[in-house]
Homo-oligomer: A and B are copies of this chain.
Amino acid sequence: MMNKMISLYKDDINDLEKIFRINLINSCTGFKSANLLGSVGSDGIDNVAIFSSVTHLGSNPPLVGFVLRPKTENRNTYDNIIETGFFTINHIHINDVKDAHHTSAKYPKNISEFDKTKLEKILIGEFIAPYVKSSRIKLGCKYVNEYHIKENGTILIVASIEELHIKEGIIKEDGLIRLDVAESVTINGLDVYLKTVMIDRFEYARPNNN
């Protein structure tokens, strides 16, 4: 039996009440990654902020991307990355979702979110940007480039992975990090946090001859 569907066309979407449209469009593309970006300004003040747009861009060289909102938004993370050239990406886990979400509050640049949440900062080696201590998967990244998406004023930041710090026991023999075992969470829309349960893992797909 065919599911009964609600259809919305371009004009319908434009006419939606603003908050309804934001929630709908933010959830219709599927699940998002849940990361805390750690950075420090040239003034020495740390910043940690939640991002749901961190994406894999390539493995050789190891590159990641994430999307920043237009300049009208609080952009301490962007300013810090431009000032110092480095930042960290830290997975959000089940026990940290409340504090991670709170980093989306708009604090002024002279206040560190590490002082406003239970999230603890940790420095590793010589890396300038702060990591989140409780995070089981930490990436140390270097700013490489930015692409300005002229259609809506967002910016795609491209960064290289300089170092990885991963909790023992969650990397499989073939390199896969089991994110469910790590208890990393995923995001639905702007504000829903979810844990995951593995369904299946498949072999590399090859054409069949039927």
Contacts and interface: CB of A to CB of B under 8 A. Distances in A.
Interface of A: 2-10, 13, 16-35, 52-65, 67, 89, 91, 94, 97-98, 101-107, 111, 116, 124, 133, 136-139, 144-145, 147, 149-152, 154, 156, 158, 161-168, 171-172, 174-180, 184-186, 188-189, 191-208, 210
A13 B164 contact: yes
Q: Top 6 nearest A-B pairs by Cβ distance?
A: A30-B33, A23-B175, A20-B175, A25-B59, A24-B175, A31-B186
B21 A137 contact: no
Contacts of A204: 191
A12 B34 CA distance: 26
A180 B26 CA distance: 15
Given A7-B163, A32-B56, 18 more contacts: A4-B167, A22-B59, A23-B177, A28-B164, A31-B184, A53-B56, A60-B152, A98-B202, A106-B207, A107-B207, A145-B149, A147-B156, A149-B158, A179-B188, A193-B199, A195-B196, A196-B197, A197-B197
Identify whether the interface residues of A are mostly helix, strand, loop, or mixed. Answer: mixed
